Amino acid sequence: MLKEYTEQIREVAKRLLKDKVVDCVIGYRKGTVPMLDAPYIAYTEEEADNLIWSSFCVSNLAKFLIGRKGKSAIVAQGCISRSIVNLINENQVKRENVYIIGVWSPGMVDRRKVLEKFYDKEILEVEEDGDELIVKGKDFEGKEFEERISKNEVKRDNCFTCMHRNAVIYDEFVGEKGEETGGGNIDNVAAPWEKLSFDERWEAFRETFGSCIRCYACRNVCPLCYCSVCFVDESKPQWCGKTQDEADIFTFHILRAFHCAGRCVDCGACESACPMGIKVRRLTSKLEKDVRELYGYVPGLEIGAKPPLAVYRPDDPENFITP
Amino acid sequence: MVKVLKKDQIESFLSKLKENYELYGPKKKGFEVEWAKLDGSLLFDFKNSSLSPKSFFFPQTECMMHFKNDPNDPEGMIMKPEPELDSKRILFNIRPCDAKAFSLLDKVFMKDEASLDVYWKDKRDKTILIGLGCNNPSPTCFCLSVGCGPFSEEGLDVLAVDLGDRVLFKGITERGKEIISSLDDAEESDIKNAEELKKNAESKITRKVELDNILSKEILEVYEIPLWDRIHETCLNCGACTFYCPTCHCFDIQDEVQGDYGRRVRNWDTCMSWLFTQHASGHNPRGTKKDRVRQRFMHKFKYIPFRLNGEIGCVGCGRCIVRCPVNIDVRDVVNQMNQQLK
Amino acid sequence: MRNPYLPYPVRIKRIEVATEDKSLRTFELEFLNQEDAKRFNYLPGQFAELSIPGYGEIPIGIASSPTEGDTLLFTVFRIGVVTTKLHNMQEGDIMGVRGPLGHPYPLKEIEGKNIVIIAGGYAVTTLRATMVWLLHPENRPKYGKITFIYGARTPGLLLYPDQWREWQKRDDVDCYITVDREFPGWDGLVGFVPTITEKVAPSPENSVAIICGPPIMIKFTQPVLDKLGWKGEQIIMSLENRMKCGIGICGRCNVGPYYVCKDGPVFTKAQLDKLPKEY
Amino acid sequence: MYARRRFALLKSLLEYVGIESDRIHFTWISSAEAGKFQEKAKEIVEKVRKLGPAKKLVKDIRPKN
């Protein structure tokens, strides 16, 4: 846990609740399982003591603003604040109904990468210590172990290439602003399949999404997915079959990603939520790159910005057109 | 009947069984464990499989019947049954909690003659379950609190115990005993050893859930506790918990056509989805997230026990705890339910 | 071992537009195989899954009474994918029927009692079946007074007019047919079902009521019956929920621990009072 | 929403996952250009024919044997 941040978030939350500035504070709490810190909504000062800030805050809290009545405070690092900007621009959330507690993200840890590292052991506890994680547990013979690993080794992919670690809008910022970028170059990794041959790309796509069990955690965790009826749930007409057939699964993923084009802020919540560990961002980050390169647009940075698919310029690239 | 087999003889034991059965067992894939066809060796050091083996009996997508999509054909538009499973199977090293789950599901899928799910029955009849006692339960395991245990025998044909260099096999059903009949009898010390391992394993399961109030109170009392107003708040209403759960069994039925071929398939469904209960009129009896989250816990911990003489609809495998993207921990939910009913 | 999911093939023998607005049609179905007709043993109050290959299934109450012969009658409102397809089908077309499903009204248990039937809108289907069954010469002597109260919004939306006109002529049934408001050419009762029920004031003495209708009708009829001294055990209702399997497995139609398809659809008011209102 | 940017992105996405983007065509034709419409339709049919039957994202539910 990033202790000082945690303390300050609690302090701010208590003040806001006490002064009745907001009805609730949407933040994170400690998980009941190592590395599974989870969304939490505090309504009272006592409950505010459950709020934390850690390297395992991977869910997108902006989701919980959709449809919420009254005024809420929300803990927001860069990507969450950008999601809020999106929701404001898409008329899902009113700016005056949100009190944004801005915070800096250290870059979140990919729990699966840690589990992978200790694949033959049972992890019982994970502590944070600066740039390191202290992983404790036991092996199958019951022998205990304790090991330090660098957080950098197990950071989520999207946090490596993040360009906005500090909240982009906020009513109050907690702690010092930190390093703005994750250090990685998004263009090197955004669309890894571009390097592959045509057939290899299809194989990579199949390999990546083939294990989907259609639980829709990726969709349901995503603050962009607020349609009252998702296309995949429509029955008149039914756009997409309900089976485990590859074509049904892939249609869902291609279309869902496409619906996020020009809107996705690459928060990585979809990947973190996927119980099967599917690299869901393979599609969204490609679209994000295209939107950036073709139309010079980066979503979630400016309230009032016109969404890139709702406008055009006469000089837009036209090579997709059959002449 | 208690038998024993040296681990270095497992391969030949398996190859003999292969003549009459398809053999399946857990297999490592990174830190995850999945079910796969056995290639000669057996995995003993593993946590439970990531997904439960329920798809052996209840595949996520299953064709139920088919028809000729041609109204002019005299046999057209009439549903025809699918062929039955054409093999016999053995699942090796299934965890006792999963076997217990299937024994529970037998009471759902084979309630009575009018509700006899032939698809489930066919595969259950043709599949032998050889369980592996859990010497090292996971920290998320709470089977002991829900009428199960690391060495539970319910639903198994044979219970195996990993003794280190040898494996003990306890025959439970007749067909299970037949499978192991050719093996050597276990020695007294082997049996004692297994007893010790069982006690040891049970002592390692420290997390408990309390259910007494939930079971004893009226349905509406449990239905109306204040907990439901909070617990759903952060739920995403995805289906991860239900798809990973070995006792969740809800499904949807869909028709599909392609040219003159048509079929009726069933797919796993989830009570977490608003669509699940949505009437064509637009009315939805479980229209809110609160209703749906409550349904899942009520079903497992109140409705199933109500119907099945107190038997709990959860086997304590802990899969939902580690797969829930927002860490809704069933142990906490149940304990809070019980607490609020004091 | 019979596969309970496999529908019996049937032929649409007759289709009749059932209401003026054409939103309901009545389908008479005949079994392709005589053995299936024999196996399909049902009583009023039960339902069946109408199965249209390529489109799916829809649970519909059986509107015919077994006393009417081997064909089955269903009156279907056009609303979803399957019912829309069904409305576009022709006489002679082949489809499927799966059932009978659920429990019937407890006709045996209520012998010797006065029966009050209260119906609203197109929920009257299984009550039509019940009336036909009760009025059959073999059954009629087993019951006391029979009261039939049925209302719809307009005269054109009243189902089965030929039937209830017959019943009106009989002296062993008290038949009250009503529409919500005055209509040119309508000389029958005018008023909502609860109002008419209040006027008729059926006595709870040695009686049971069977009620089917839209939630709003049930909501306002309830206090009328309460005032007259009716007890929950005397009031029998039939629920509808979304269904797929129809045999208590697929998990969506439950009201508390009971599956509407398997344990219902018939429940007493007393039973429902102890259950969540998830219907 | 404008079609042009959507099509550009969709074609790029399909190409990226290994689906022939030539199965989707986009062109400007005015309501007065009947001749162009006919010409484009022929051209596109020819292009798609050359690709052969689609094998990806195609659901085949018929029994395999």
- Over residues A220-274, the pLDDT tens digits come to 999 999 999 999 999 888 999 999 999 999 999 999 999 999 999 999 999 999 9
Domain boundary among B175, B204, B233: B204
HSE-up (13 A, CA, CB side) for residue C106: 16
Beta bridge partners of C75: C26
B296 and B162, same structural domain? no
- Give residue B174's domain range: 2-204
- Shared domain for B197 and B218, answered yes or no, is no
Res. B87: pLDDT tops 60: yes
Tell whether D35 lies on the interface with B, counting CB pairs under 8 A: no
Residue B200 has pLDDT above 60, yes or no: yes
CATH code assigned at C224: 3.40.50.80
**B288-323 residue pLDDT tens:** 999 999 999 999 999 999 999 999 999 999 999 999
Which chain A residue lies closest to B28 (C-alpha atoms)? A119
Same domain, B329 and B218: yes
Is residue C252 one of the residues assigned to a domain? no
Q: By CA distance, what is B69's nearest residue in D?
A: D62
Same domain, B233 and B199: no
D58/B contact by beta carbon, under 8 A: no
* A236: closest chain C residue by CA: C81
Subunit contact A322:D26, Cβ cutoff 8 A: yes
DSSP state for residue A321 in the 8-state scheme? S
Mean pLDDT, rounded, for C229-241 = 95
Helix (H) / strand (E) containing B103: helix B96-109
Task: For chain B, give the mean pLDDT.
Answer: 96
Confidence at residue D1, expressed as pLDDT on a 0 to 100 scale:
56
Question: Does residue C251 sit within a domain?
Answer: no
Helix (H), strand (E) at residue B265: strand B261-268
Assigned token pair, C15: 């289709």
Please report, for the domain that includes residue C14, its CATH number: 2.40.30.10
User: pLDDT tens-digit profile of A175-186?
Assistant: 999 999 998 888
pLDDT computed for residue A321 by the predictor: 75
Distance of CA D55 to the CA centre of its chain: 14
Q: Where are the domains of chain D?
A: 26-52
Domain extents for chain A? 3-109+155-310, 111-153
Average pLDDT score over residue span A265-293: 96
Give CA–CA dist C131/C166, Å, rounded. Answer: 11
**Paired residues of A105 in beta bridges:** none
Domain membership of residue C191 as a residue range: 114-238
The residue among C240, C239, C224, C227 whose CA lies nearest residue C269 is C239
Give percent of chain B above pLDDT 90: 97
Q: Please check whether residues B158 and B180 belong to one and the same domain.
A: yes
Query: Which residues does chain A have within 8 Å of residue B327's beta carbon, measured at their own beta carbons?
Result: 31-33, 36-38
By residue count, chain D amounts to: 65
Residue-averaged pLDDT of chain C = 95
Q: In what order do the strands lie in the sheet with C174-179?
A: C189-190, C174-179, C146-152, C114-120, C207-212, C235-238, C266-268
pLDDT of D28 higher than 90: no
Tens-place pLDDT, residues A182-209 = 988 888 899 999 999 999 999 999 999 9
The answer, for B165 touching chain A at a CB cutoff of 8 Å, is no
H/E element, D36: helix D34-51
Contact call for D60 and B256, based on CB within 8 A: no
- Cβ within 8 Å of D, A 176-235: 191, 193-194, 198-205
- % residues pLDDT > 90 (chain C): 96
- Is the reported ipTM for this assembly greater than 0.90? yes
Contact (Cβ atoms closer than 8 angstroms) between residue C212 and residue C123 = yes
| Phi, psi (deg, nearest 5) at residue A10 | -60, -40
Q: Are A231 and A240 in contact (CB under 8 A)?
A: yes
| Closest CA relative to residue D4, chosen from D37, D28, D31, D40 | D28
Band the pLDDT of A1: cuts 50, 70, 90. low
Same-domain pairing of B250 and B185: no
Do B220 and B185 belong to one domain? no
Give the C-alpha separation, B220 to B214, whole Å: 11
Among candidate residues C210, C162, C179, the one with its CA nearest the CA of residue C18? C162
What local confidence, expressed as pLDDT, does residue D64 receive? 81
Give CA–CA dist A183/A132, Å, rounded. 17
Q: For residue B268, list its beta bridge partners.
A: B251
Q: How many domains does chain B have?
A: 2
Q: Are B43 and B27 in contact (CB under 8 A)?
A: yes
Collect all residues with Cβ–Cβ distance below 8 Å to B143 and sequence separation of at least 6.
Answer: B96, B97, B100, B137, B149, B150, B152, B205, B315, B316, B317
pLDDT at D2: 75
DSSP assigned state of B300: I
Of C101, C136, C154, the last residue of a domain is C101
